[in-house]
Amino acid sequence: MPLANRRVVFTGIGVVTSIGMDAAAFWDGLAREQCGIKTIQAFDPAPLKTRFAGEIVGFDAKGYLSKEGRKSLRVMARSVQMAVAAAQLALDDGKVDKAKLDPTRFGVEFGAGLIPSELTELGLASHICTEENAHAEDLKIWGAKGIPNIPPLWMLKYLPNMLACHVSILHNAQGPNNSITQSEVGSLLALAEANRILRRDQSDFFLVGGADSKLNPLSMTRQEIFGQLSKENDTPSQALKPFDLRRNGTAIGEGGAVLVVEDLTHAQNRRATIYGEMVGFGSTFDRGTTGRGLARAIRVALDQAQIKPSEVDHVNAHGLSSVKLDAFEARGINEVFGTSVPVWALKPNIGTLGAGSGTTELAASLLAMKHGVLPPTLNFATPDPACPVQILTKASPITKPYFVKIGYTDMGQCAAVVCRKWE
């Protein structure tokens, strides 16, 4: 089959977030304008300046694994467990019969970031060294008394490629396999790579996604040092205000999404329900976060999709709620669309999911296309002249067949995906 004729479609959505633990629940939470950002329950947050997050309370990966698969949980960090759960949910949603898949053409692509170690795994070793040498680390003490107190399989839990690794093992995916360690844009870049492989006819079927959980005291402290977190502890549900003049920082969330992505003919042969089609992608680096590089990524994606800005229903924004970075993002969007296209941001609902943000937020737009309505951006009230974009503040009907999902990192790596509604 000529490569130009191979088309890539989305046929399954697995979502794990603080407002919903599968595609249906996630959509219900968005439609009802729910916010999953609350005071942290996983540990006592009192010593922290920011004491809230988009926490998934009561998550247990055992419910998404076979009895045999549960043996692997001891070498899965929480981020990996969430990826495994989302992958199973995606297969369930896509009604995939794995016995009918060619395992050699079944690929796995994941976005990943730094997976934080639990304090219980490194804390004792560090404490022993500190007790015996209060003023400086002594490598002899570390070697003799510190390292023996670190669990032997510690490293296997926290390698960023473990998300894709465990998913591929659990589902016998023997095709192309990769991990894109680009934090917030990782899962969008993973999607782009899967798209290219499918179009080159080197695979038929992919699980693509990202997941992240930085909800522990060490990671929260690290984020506070960088000054990115809101401090509105009394009203956490109102803390994130992307593009709003009053915005003062973001909030950590946890979770992610995995998408079933496959060749159109393959999907049709198994009579899959199709959510949408991926028709364009652009990736750039915006040194200095001027907005021009982000605009270039969007234009590349639109050109690949062979559509004009006027054909886009909405832009699904990164929407970090950062004073500096929201302005950068708004400049990039405005350069391409002006203020004519509605902008939707989901982080006020679930927080920032790190490597899980891209596919989770893209999944929201696929679900909006399916249901024909776009939920509003929460907490937006006061326009900022530095953010010249049209923020969606009321639920609105879907009127055009395309949407653009954008993402970026604070270092300037940008990505844009164009998807088309399936009819």
Q: What's residue 1's pLDDT?
A: 41
Looking at the structure, do residues 300 and 384 belong to the same domain, yes or no? yes
Cα(162)–Cα(141) distance, integer angstroms: 31
Closest of 76, 408, 404, 35 to residue 253, by C-alpha: 35
Cα–Cα distance measured from residue 218 to residue 158, given in angstroms and rounded to the nearest whole number: 15
Question: Are 293 and 233 found together in one domain?
Answer: no
Residues 224 and 143 in one domain: no
Task: Looking at the structure, tell me whether residues 143 and 160 fall in a common domain.
Answer: no
Domain contains 274: no
Q: How many domains does the chain have?
A: 3
Q: Are 57 and 166 in the same domain? A: yes
pTM of the model: 0.95
Domain that holds residue 263: 3-117+154-269
> Do 221 and 48 touch, CB atoms closer than 8 A?
yes
Lowest-confidence region among 122-131, 230-239, 293-302, 413-422: 122-131
The reported pLDDT for the residue numbered 354 is 95
Q: How many residues are recorded in the chain?
A: 423
- Give the number of C-alpha atoms closer than 13 A to the C-alpha of residue 37, restricted to the C-beta side: 33
Work out the angle between the directed axes of helices 292-305 and 323-337 (0-180°, nearest 10): 40
Question: Do 71 and 195 share a domain, yes or no?
Answer: yes
* Residue 60 and residue 98 share a domain: yes
Closest CA to 83 of 151, 170, 200, 1: 170
The first and second tokens of residue 260, run together, are: 């079933």
Same domain, 8 and 130: no
pLDDT one-digit tens code per residue, 28-44: 999 999 999 999 999 99
> For the domain that residue 113 is a member of, what is the CATH number?
3.40.47.10
User: Which of 269, 290, 306 corresponds to the end of one domain?
Assistant: 269
* Cα–Cα distance for residue pair 316/165, rounded to 1 Å: 29
**Whether residues 138 and 246 fall in one domain:** no
CB 296 within 8 A of CB 284: yes
Indicate if 183 and 140 belong to the same structural domain: no
Interval 68-113: pLDDT, tens: 889 899 899 999 999 999 999 999 999 999 999 999 999 999 999 9
Whether residue 167 lies inside any domain: the answer is yes
Residues 191 and 111 in one domain: yes
- Kindly state whether residues 371 and 243 are assigned to the same domain: no
The predicted structure's pLDDT at residue 2: 44
